[in-house]
Amino acid sequence: MKELLETLATWRRDGVDVGRAVVVRTFGSAPRPEGAVLLVASDGRIAGSVSGGCVEGAAAEEIERARATGQSRVIRYGISDEDAWDVGLACGGTIDVLVEPDVPRDVIDAAERSARDRGSAVITPLPPDAPPAEFGAHEPGAGAAPAATLVVHDDGRLDGTLGAAVDDDSLVAAALDALNRGTSRTVEIGDLAFFVEAYPVRPRLVVVGAVQAAMSLVAYACELGYATVVVDGRASFATAERFPDVDRLVVGWPDEVADEIALGPNDAVAVLTHDVKFDEPAIVEALRRGCRYVGAVGSRKTQADRRARLLEAGVGEDALERLRGPIGLDLGGRAPAEMALAIMSEVVAVRYAGSGRPMRDLAADRERERVLAREPVAAR
């Protein structure tokens, strides 16, 4: 939805009404993910997509029907194998689409906040299950109307409540997880279903030390959608020529520029210097501000010596447990670009609570668990 804000504003300036359809659930090989949006103006203009093309016409008709009745609906579309092939899939799937007569104010506000570096998620209670409506043959008006929305902010605040119907803490936890992962989804809490439409802020990587590995690290981070900041006290190292893709270069001491760059919980911090006077103040400040990832280069001996100094300086044991040192995953490479890849891999793993293990090993573990679950206890 965020990418359609400008289009929405333009259409509204033209004086037309705008309704929307948004994918709230997917089953099988659906062509578009949860959160994909289609906008339809009352003058016939269309923007966005909920299916890659195969159900757009039907969804647009439902938006017009919703505009006429003033009622939102959740409708299920089954996408045939032939239609799926046309949009680049090997087989068909099923999508649940929330059709609305207009674009909710909560959604617009959340998208605009996200552009201003404040994340939030809009939660829409859904019917337990949408009645099936096959693509090209669904019944007019099929579906069920959702209830009023709630909003969860990235600091955990909840606007609205469902009262005794559901535990608010469960809703907040689901919304914060969606914001952290940057993906919208439908979650089920008890017998109720909720569409969590996530509008996160862009994750940011702060690199302390404009060294050779930092150049590759910034390039990887940019490719993965991270905003990037490089901090170094040496102006000759922190240059646009060395870091052409970086969003911001800061010359100074990291602890002194923390306020300037608004260092905070949304940041991952990679300390790549080998200077005690420079790296340890950066580590202390990143831990103090609750950054989601804090890693620092150095051998095991360097890490042990650093840990002792930080403890003596008053950094608590709990805080030091969050410090990733030596930094990065064990990929075996030693070249600067390989070191950067190992660091970025760990940053991503921490963000998504990944294990960092090979997928083959995880699949083998799951298969063993399934086999054990099927075996009688006496046979084990």
Q: Name the stretches of the chain with pLDDT < 50.
A: 81, 84-85, 87-90, 130-142
Q: In the structure encoding, which two tokens stand for residue 172, read together? A: 């907040």
Q: Measuring CA to CA, how many Å separate 278 from each of 191, 208, 322? A: 53, 9, 19
pLDDT of residue 251: 95
Q: In the structure encoding, which two tokens stand for residue 182, read together? A: 């940057």
Gap between the Cα atoms of 13 and 17, Å rounded: 10
CATH 3.40.50.720 is held by the domain 204-351:
yes
* Region for residue 351 given its phi and psi (left: phi exceeds 0; alpha: psi -120 to 50; beta: otherwise): alpha
pLDDT of residue 380: 52
pLDDT of residue 85: 47
**Where exactly are the structural domains of the chain?**
17-199, 204-351
pLDDT of residue 265: 85
Q: What is the pTM of this model?
A: 0.72
